[in-house]
Amino acid sequence: MHSTRRRIAILPATAAWLLTLSAVSAEAQLPEMKWPPHDLTRPRPPVVKPAPAGALVPSPSDAIVLFDGKDLSAWQGESGGPAAWTVTGGHFEVAPGKGGVATRQGFGDVQLHVEWASPAKREGEGQEPGNSGVFLMGIYEVQVLDSYGNETYADGQAGALYGQYPPLVNASRPPGEWQTYDIVFRRPRFDAAGKLLSPAIFTVFHNGILIQDHSVLVGPTAHQRRPPYSAHADRLPISLQDHGQPVRYRNIWVRDLER
């Protein structure tokens, strides 16, 4: 009996010590980033020609459909209120200057399917044509951009985890054609004190081609900087960016992978 009481007594302290150790280890073991954000000397990914765009990818039976071609009832403005983007012809389109849109529902770990198209008529170059973004939890961005024969910094082209990881290859279709992202996202974990336990991880397929393979983020994605992690809720909305370009979206669905 004495031995049992003793073991029970030390369990909370042991658990607290292990939790602290894992938090320290997670922060200490984040990958080192060789390249500064948006370094123009960073090698561009090789170009791979994807298969032609096909029919809409149907949602599986356990998916939550975020856009079925009819309305934006699953979305709202980034600051609340109705989503101001335009729905037409089975897709919806960024309304430049109206701000981004975000799901009404919050998500953590997910499998996310998104189909998008940049404007058929390219205007500008670099970061200008077809610029938008898919933000997991509103914080961690997969870049949307017209990257078909369009030079820009490697960590800012289509499929990049913005400012951190270029895609493994450039799998872009020409402007105006529909493209697909299939994203598996594992959210970061924090302890009760806000310490990082495990970082955010992305696996991404662009037009059916693997472009991010278990990529570990060093923190939130951002322009010209790499801020550290800051504790946040386990579930937050998915958002789409208004970057001033009339990018189109369709057939968006998500599978909740939280366990």
Note the pLDDT of residue 22. Answer: 47
pLDDT in tens, 46-96: 999 999 999 999 999 999 999 999 999 999 999 899 999 999 999 999 999
pTM, to two decimals: 0.89
pLDDT in tens, 14-44: 444 444 444 455 665 899 999 999 999 999 9
pLDDT in tens, 152-167: 999 999 999 999 999 9
pLDDT in tens, 88-120: 999 999 999 999 999 999 999 999 999 999 999
Domains by residue range for the chain, with CATH: 31-256 (2.60.120.560)
Average pLDDT over residues 127-141: 97
- Three-state secondary structure readout of the chain: CHHHHHHHHHHHHHHHHHHHHHHHHHHHCCCCCCCCCCCCCCCCCCECCCCCCCCCCCCCCCCEEEECCCCCCCEEECCCCECCCEEECCEEECCCCCCCEEEEEEECCEEEEEEEECCCCCCCCCCCCCCEEEEECCCEEEEECCCCCCCCCHHHCCCCECCCECCCCECCCCCCCCEEEEEEEECCEECCCCCEEECCEEEEEECCEEEEEEEECCCCCCCCCCCCCCCCCCCEEEEECCCCCCCEEEEEEEEECCC
pLDDT in tens, 217-233: 999 999 999 999 999 99
Question: Average model confidence (pLDDT) for the chain?
Answer: 91
Note the pLDDT of residue 6. Answer: 38
